Structures are given as structure tokens and as C-alpha cells.
Amino acid sequence: MPFSDVHLHLHSIRATELRAEAAAHRHRAVRREARARARLGWLLVELGLQLVNRPSRPRIRPV
């Protein structure tokens, strides 16, 4: 049964390649996610600063 040995060897090689590709993809996804999280954080900081620096308006009381 040399055919099955060759098949198993090829399967093992391909599985190793796929694991390496998956690890690289996960690494890229984590970096992209961290970048998006940082952008969102700075956006919220900017929004907070705009709210703090907004001139106050007189409040209208209900009649």
C-alpha cells in the first residue's frame, strides 16, 4: 500500500501549509482589528472634546 503512504504524506504537507496560511491570516486580522479599535478610540476622544468645548446655550424651562 505505498499509495496510501504517499497520500498521507501529501495530506500532511498540505495541512502544514494551510495551518501556516491560517496563522498569517489571523495575525493580519488582529492588526487590522487593533487599528480599527485605535481609530474608534481617537474618534470618541475627538467627539468628547467637541462636546466639552461647545458653548453653552441657555436652557429653556417648560411653561
DSSP the chain: -HHHHHHHHHHHHHHHHHHHHHHHHHHHHHHHHHHHHHHHHHHHHHHHHHHHHSPP-PPPPP-
Domain range for 30: 1-52
Q: ∠ at Cα 32 (26, 37), nearest 5°?
A: 125
Q: For residue 42, is it within any domain?
A: yes
Pull the grid cell for residue 32. 487590522
Does the predicted TM-score (pTM) go above 0.75? no
Sign of CA dihedral 23, 26, 30, 31: positive
Total number of domains constituting the chain: 1
The pLDDT value recorded for residue 1 is: 45
Q: For residue 8, is it within any domain?
A: yes
Q: For residue 17, is it within any domain?
A: yes
Q: For residue 11, is it within any domain?
A: yes
Q: Which residue has the higher pLDDT, 14 or 63?
A: 14
Q: For residue 62, is it within any domain?
A: no
The pLDDT value recorded for residue 3 is: 57
Tens digit of pLDDT for each residue in 18-59? Answer: 999 999 888 887 788 888 899 999 999 999 999 999 887 777
Q: For residue 60, is it within any domain?
A: no
Residue 4 has pLDDT above 70, yes or no: yes
Q: For residue 57, is it within any domain?
A: no
